[in-house]
């Protein structure tokens, strides 16, 4: 079965060459590098990986992510993050796509808090022209704006990062309802990375199994993808890489055909076709 990790953040050991922002969110020593990710993927049969720009460490400096994706185009796809408030961002997106094997962009709200913003629209328009994938990172409060953009950019493939940050607790039910409602947009895909980050327990994250099943039911497996949240030592320290993968490969009660789509088939079409 093809397995694609659609959500890995990488951190450069050489911080002189790739300096972080002030007060970065730093992974534990010895974790999070491109080499570490390669070891994890090789050890667990993961064939390809999407490198998602680490904004909490580099903000809009995409050099390490892009250098890594260009260095290994056979098994990686770069996903940059660009400022919607910078008029140079669409041009940078074109350059990353042409020169660095960038296959997607993580979309965030503008500085004024709006997702439906001229700068965001300019980036989505550029992504659509280039055939790139948009990974949108927002919470439930941006659902209406997201819906407007999805209706306007109907041919653009969009992935809902972390499914509006689904998390066990009082906000789970309304957030899940919003995620399900957004499934009415056929160009939206669900990234099922929320089990280890949203669970109130450790492995096997049983409190998030039912919400995950409902998301897959709403979107269909052909619009759902798995991602590891690498490095888990930082983002989901209750689980190991192997345990997170095992949840989707064995623990969750998916049909074999659905499991194949979630673990790799959908992602291969989105980022590696």
pLDDT of residue 256: 97
Q: pLDDT tens for residues 231-249? A: 999 999 999 999 999 999 9
Q: Scanning the structure block, which residue is given the tokens 């590891």?
A: 228
In angstroms, how far is CA 136 from the centroid of its own chain? 8
Query: What pLDDT is stored for residue 39 in this prediction?
Result: 98
The CA distance from 108 to 137, in Å, is 6
Q: Give tens-digit pLDDT for 45-76.
A: 999 999 999 999 999 999 999 999 999 998 99
pLDDT at position 41: 98
Please say whether the beta carbons of 261 and 62 come within 8 A.
no
Find the mean pLDDT for residues 75-89: 98
Return d(Cα 219, Cα 256) in angstroms, integer.
17
231 DSSP 8-state letter: -
Q: Are 109 and 117 in contact (CB under 8 A)?
A: yes
Helix (H, G, I), strand (E, B) or coil at 195: helix
From CA 51, how far away is CA 49, in angstroms rounded?
A: 6
The pLDDT value given to residue 117: 98
Q: What are the residue ranges spanned by the domains of the chain? A: 4-271
pTM: 0.97
Range list of H helices, 15-142: 34-43, 55-58, 63-71, 89-99, 118-130
What's the mean per-residue pLDDT of the chain? 98
pLDDT value, residue 50? 98
Helix axes 172-182, 209-219, angle to 10 degrees: 20
- Residues 172-205: tens digit of each pLDDT: 999 999 999 999 999 999 999 999 999 999 999 9
> Which residue from 27, 21, 28, 30 is spatially nearest to 63, judged by alpha carbons?
21
148 secondary structure, DSSP code = H
The answer to whether the beta carbons of residues 254 and 262 sit under 8 Å apart is yes
pLDDT in tens, 206-215: 999 999 999 9
- What's the CATH code, domain 4-271? 3.20.20.140
């Amino acid at each position: 079965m093809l397995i694609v990790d659609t959500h890995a953040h990488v951190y450069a050991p050489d911080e002189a060459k790739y300096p972080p922002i002030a007060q970065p969110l730093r992974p534990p020593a010895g974790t999070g590098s491109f080499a570490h990710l390669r070891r994890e993927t090789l050890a667990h049969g993961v064939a390809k990986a999407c490198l998602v720009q680490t904004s909490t460490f580099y903000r809009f400096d995409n050099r390490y992510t892009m250098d890594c994706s260009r260095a290994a185009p056979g098994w990686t796809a770069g996903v940059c993050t660009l400022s919607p408030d910078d008029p140079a961002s669409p041009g940078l997106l074109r350059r990353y796509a042409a020169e660095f094997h960038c296959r997607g962009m993580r979309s965030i709200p503008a500085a004024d808090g709006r997702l439906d913003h001229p700068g965001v629209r300019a980036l989505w328009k550029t992504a659509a022209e280039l055939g790139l994938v948009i990974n949108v990172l927002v919470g439930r409060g941006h659902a209406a704006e997201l819906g407007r953009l999805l209706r306007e950019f109907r041919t653009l493939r969009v992935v809902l990062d972390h499914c509006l940050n689904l998390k066990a607790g009082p906000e789970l039910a309304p957030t899940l309802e919003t995620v399900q409602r957004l499934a009415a947009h056929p160009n939206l895909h669900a990234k099922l990375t929320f089990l280890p980050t949203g669970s109130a327990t450790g492995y096997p994250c049983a409190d998030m199994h039912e919400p995950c099943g409902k998301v897959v039911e709403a979107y269909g497996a052909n619009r759902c993808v798995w991602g590891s949240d690498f490095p888990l030592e930082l983002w989901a320290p209750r689980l190991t890489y192997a345990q997170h993968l095992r949840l989707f490969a064995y623990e969750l009660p998916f049909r074999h055909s659905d499991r194949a789509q979630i673990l790799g088939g959908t992602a291969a079409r989105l980022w590696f076709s």
